[in-house]
Structure 1
Amino acid sequence: MQAPFEADRTWQSTIALLSSEGETGPTIVSSRVRPISGEGCFSKCAIRVLERDGQNWATVAWSDATSCCYGEQLWRRCIARKAGVCALSGQAIARGNAVYRPRRVRLPPRNIEAMILATVMETIPVEEAV
């Protein structure tokens, strides 16, 4: 049986690992880790366009119960460097298509590999503030 102080330390370590405070180093994001390809890979996500700044930036609310939730995430327009699937429409994205992607920050967001076709993004009406 574990001594009381060892059990307490084990419990505290477990809680620290589950919380963001327990991160011992930056999150490692590999270019080999990609969303599952195929139909409906983002079908469980709730994605809302909150605001657009011209045709270069968009503020998106992204919620995925299995991986992450971002209330206001800045997405930028760029050119797709690889093929993928549009998170909103499910349409195929070819390398070279104009897309919106989450902005790269020091600790990359969990949905950094997601893309939305620019043609799809720009046809969606921006939600009105409630």
Structure 2
Amino acid sequence: MHAKHSRTDPWSQTLCLLDSLSCTADGTRGNTVSIGRHAPRRVAAGACATGKRAAHIRVLDRPTSRTAIVTWGDPTSCHYGDQVWRIARASNDGFCALSGQQIRRGDVVYRPSHYRLAPANAGSMMLATCVLIAPIGH
């Protein structure tokens, strides 16, 4: 593995530290998020699990039966104007970034496509049923 790919960038580390120190409205400490190679994925999964869905997501197009073009904007980590998502099977449990519904391992989902560097939202998933009924471009 290339050394550049194994390091977490300072911004992601800062977000993880702030998240681990934050408190909820009732004064309890928020979920601690591990800092490491996959920190951006853990932050995204943790945010969905706790109901914090800060990302603004729109399905722009579904050019094929296996792909969707999505605009993804998260004020704390990333913005993608026209990101390609591909259909896959969920490799682990999680939550749909579009609807907040629970995802079980093996469910049909859309995931961000990547070939070289994984995007900041690489650990995110959207249920295929939600993507298929989402209004296009709205």
Asked if Structure 1 and Structure 2 have the same fold, meaning a TM-score greater than 0.5 normalized by the shorter chain, the answer is yes
Aligned twin of 1:30? 38
Question: Residue 104 of structure 2 is aligned with which of 94, 103, 120?
Answer: 94
> What runs of 5+ residues in structure 1 fail to find an aligned partner?
1-23
Contact preservation (8 Å) 1:27, 1:107: no
TM value normalised by structure 1: 0.72
Shift of 1:55: 2.1
Aligned length: 104
More helix by share: 2
Provide the C-alpha distance between the structure 1 equivalents of 2:105 and 2:85, rounded to a whole number of angstroms.
18
After superposition, the C-alpha distances for 1:15-55 in whole angstroms (9 at most, x for unaligned) are xxxxxxxxx823644389522052424x2111010110232
In the TM superposition, what are the counterparts of 1:18-57 in structure 2 within 5 Å? 25-26=4-5, 28=7, 29-30=37-38, 33-34=41-42, 35-36=45-46, 37-41=48-52, 43-57=53-67
- Following TM superposition, where does structure 1 have runs of at least 4 consecutive aligned residues deviating by more than 6 angstroms? none
Provide the C-alpha distance between the structure 2 equivalents of 1:32 and 1:52, rounded to a whole number of angstroms.
26
> What runs of 5+ residues in structure 2 fail to find an aligned partner?
8-36
Identity fraction in percent: 41
State the structure with more CA Rg: 1
TM value normalised by structure 2: 0.68
